[in-house]
Amino acid sequence: MVALLVLSVGMIGVAALYGQALSASNNAGYRSQAIVLAAELADRIRSNRAARAAYEATPTDHNCDRATGAGGVDCSPAEMAEHDMWLWQSQVAQSLPGGQGAIDVDTGVNPASYTVTVSWDEPTDEDPVSFTFEFSLPIY
C-alpha cells in the first residue's frame, strides 16, 4: 500500500513536469515567432530604404502588393512603408496571442536607427511579454 502511495505521488510529479514542459515549449514558440516577425519587418525596411521615417506613419492598406488580392497598384516608397506596416501588424496580431507590433525610427543619425518591438500575451504570465530588435540602416 505504501509503495502504491509513493508511486502515485511520483506519477503526479511526472504529470506536473510534463505540463510545465508543454508550457515552456509554447512560450518558446511564441518567442521564435516574434523574432521571425521582427526580422521580416527589418527585411521590408531594407528593401524600401527611401521610405525611412514613413514606417512610423499610420499603417494603411494601400493595396500595394499582389499577394493580398487585386493589388499591383504602383505605390510611392512612403505608401509602401505604410502598407508594409499594415500587413506586418496584421501578421503579428494573427501569429501571436494578443500580438502587437510597433516601430521607432530615428533618422536624425546616420545610419538611421530602427527599433522594432513585438509584444504578446503569454498564458503563463500576467504581464505582456515583448521582444525588441534594433538595427541601423545606412542611407544611400
Q: For cell 505521488, what's the residue? A: 9
Question: Domain boundaries in the chain?
Answer: 2-50+93-137
Strand order in the sheet with 129-137: 100-106, 112-120, 129-137
Grid cell at residue 86: 499594415
Tens digit of pLDDT per residue, the chain (140 long)?
Answer: 878 888 788 788 877 777 777 766 678 888 899 999 999 999 999 988 888 889 998 998 888 876 655 555 678 899 999 999 999 999 999 999 999 999 999 988 888 899 999 999 887 777 888 888 888 877 66
Quick check: 87 and 71 in contact, CB under 8 A? no
Cα–Cα distances (Å) from 126 to 28, 72, 123, in that order, read 17, 42, 8
> Would you say the C-alpha torsion 111, 35, 88, 57 has a positive or negative sign?
negative
